[in-house]
Structure 1
Amino acid sequence: MRNFEQTVENMVEKSTNTFICYIDEDGCPVTKAMLKPREHEGVRIFYFTTNTSSNKVKCFKQNNRASIYFVNPQFFRGASLTGTMEVLETAEAKERIWQKGDEIYYPKGVTDPDYCVLKFTATKGRFYNDFHSDDFDINQ
Structure 2
Amino acid sequence: MEQKFCQSCGMPLTYKNKGMNADGSRNKDYCMYCYKDGKFTQDFSMNQMIEFCAQFTDQMNKEAGWNLTPEQAKEQMRKFFPHLKRWKQKDERSLVEKATALLAQCEEVTLASINADGFPRPVPMAKGHTTGCNEVWMATGTDSMKVADFTINPKAGLCYSSHGDSVALRGIVKIVSDDKVRKEMWQDWYINHFPGGPSDPNYVLLHFVGTEATIWINREFAHKQL
Structure 1 and Structure 2 fold alike (TM over 0.5): yes
Match of 2:210 in 1: 122
1:102 shift after superposition? 2.1
* In 1: Cα distance, 2:194 partner to 2:134 partner: 27
Amino acid at match of 2:209: T
Q: Which residue of 1 aligns with 2:105?
A: 14
Q: TM-score, normalised by structure 1?
A: 0.89
1:43-79 per-position Cα deviation (integer Å, ceiling 9, x unaligned): 242211111111011100100000110111x2x1110
User: How far off its partner does 1:133 sit?
Assistant: 3.2
Between the aligned partners of 1:137 and 1:31, the Cα distance in structure 2 is 22
Contact 1:4 1:136 in 2 (8 A): no
Q: How many residues align?
A: 135
- Which of the two has greater strand per residue? 1
TM-score under structure 2 length normalisation = 0.56
Q: What amino acid is aligned across from residue 114 of structure 2 in structure 1? A: I
| Relative contact order higher in (CA < 8 Å, ≥ 6 apart) | 1
Q: How does 1:39-118 map to 2 (within 5 A)?
A: 39-72=129-162, 74=163, 76-118=164-206
Q: Which residue of 2 aligns with 1:137?
A: 225
CA distance in 1, matches of 2:111, 2:147: 12
Unaligned runs of 5+ in 1: none
Identify, as 1 or 2, the structure richer in helix.
Answer: 2
1:96 to partner: Cα distance: 1.1
Shift of 1:117: 0.7
Larger radius of gyration: 2
Extract structure 1 runs of 4+ deviating beyond 6 A. none
Identity of aligned residues (%): 21
Unaligned runs of 5+ in 2: 1-91
What SS is found at the alignment partner of 2:143?
coil
Corresponding residue SS for 2:149: helix
- Are the counterparts in 1 of residues 170 and 211 from structure 2 also a CA contact under 8 Å? yes
